[in-house]
Amino acid sequence: MYKIIRKVKLNQTITLMDIDAPFIARKAEPGQFIILRIDKDGERIPLTIADFDRKKGIVTIIFQVVGGTTLELNQKNEGEYLLDFVGPLGTKTKTEGLKKVAIVGGGVGCAIAYPVAKKLHEQGAVVHTIIGFRTKDLVILEAEFNAVSDKLITMTDDGSYNEKGLVTDALRRLLDSGEDYDEIITIGPLIMMKFVSELTKQYGVKTTVSMNPIMIDGTGMCGGCRLTVGDKTKFACVDGPDFDGHEVDFDEAIKRSKIYNTIEKKAHEKACNLLKKEVI
């Protein structure tokens, strides 16, 4: 059993939780993920490790309420427990040797981008960060990114906060101004990572993307998280989640990501109905 030490609502749909998991915290690295199960009847879901504290034995997860399981998880409170919390899984993000990096995060993907930016900052790299959200109400982790970035640009699609536009607008401006990056690391919605990768390919800048497709076992056995990268089949859970953005078949990944949309919607509605009955 894994105790929920802290719960913070970051915005209307995104929640942060600190979990007491000392063995995972001891080995966790940016880019890796865990698989959790709320109870014995629960679904197994993967969540990227958003942060960790080795001394306190704490692992931080940040999730968006989109389906039935995340809705149920969001009902858990401080002091309650999760049945399973397995990890760290996947390969860590490679940050060694990088001197100047641009981090591009979008939406809840910023939760994955933050520990990478933090690690690069701790290693002495120059970190330029661009984070993008649909609207002001959805902005998360801005203060945290500011603390580990030499330059931070916050974008909103509707212009309700800071600068109006897409993350690619800000990135193109930096590249056109002569900023020379060893690597660009982008994490967020598939469509965002696709367009970031298309942009950076024009400038010949190495680009890493974090792929988080549907996963079941997290060990490469089920094949659910398969991707096409450089005309080869890869598994995000064991070969990734980081891949060369210029080699990922994003169109295929986007198409596969929509397979279970109807099922997820029904699961969310079912969970909502159950919660309403409990309230009554």
Nearest to 119 by CA among 21, 178, 49: 49
Q: Which amino acid is at 219?
A: T
Output the pLDDT for position 199. Answer: 97
Output the pLDDT for position 92. Answer: 92
* CATH class assigned to 100-257: alpha beta
What is the CA angle 60-238-208, rounded to 5? 75
Measured over the CA atoms of residue 244, residue 174, residue 141 and residue 66, the dihedral's sign is negative
Both tokens of residue 155?
A: 């974008």
Burial degree of 162 (CB within 10 A; 0-12, 13-18, 19+): middle
Where do you find CATH 2.40.30.10 in the chain? 2-89
99-127 burial: b if 16+ Cβ within 10 Å, else e: eebbbbbbbbbbbbbbbbbbbbbeeebbb
Cβ atoms of residues 127 and 149 within 8 Å: yes
Both tokens of residue 263?
A: 């099922």
Q: The domain 2-89: what is its CATH number?
A: 2.40.30.10
Where do you find CATH 3.40.50.80 in the chain? 100-257
Output the pLDDT for position 22. Answer: 97
Strand residue runs (E) in the chain: 2-9, 14-20, 33-37, 45-53, 58-64, 81-82, 84-89, 100-106, 126-133, 151-156, 163-164, 183-187, 207-210, 226-229, 232-235, 242-244
For the chain, 280 residues long, the average pLDDT of each consecutive 10-residue run is 95 94 96 93 90 96 89 95 93 94 95 94 97 95 96 96 95 97 96 97 96 72 83 88 94 82 59 55
- Contacts of residue 172, Cβ cutoff 8 Å, sequence gap at least 6: 199
217-243 burial: b if 16+ Cβ within 10 Å, else e: ebebeeebbbbbbeeeebbbbebbbbb
Helix (H, G, I), strand (E, B) or coil at 72: helix
Output the pLDDT for position 164. Answer: 96
| Residue 209 to residue 106: CA distance in whole angstroms | 12
What are the distances in angstroms from CA 106 to CA 24, 117, 157, 221? 26, 14, 11, 30
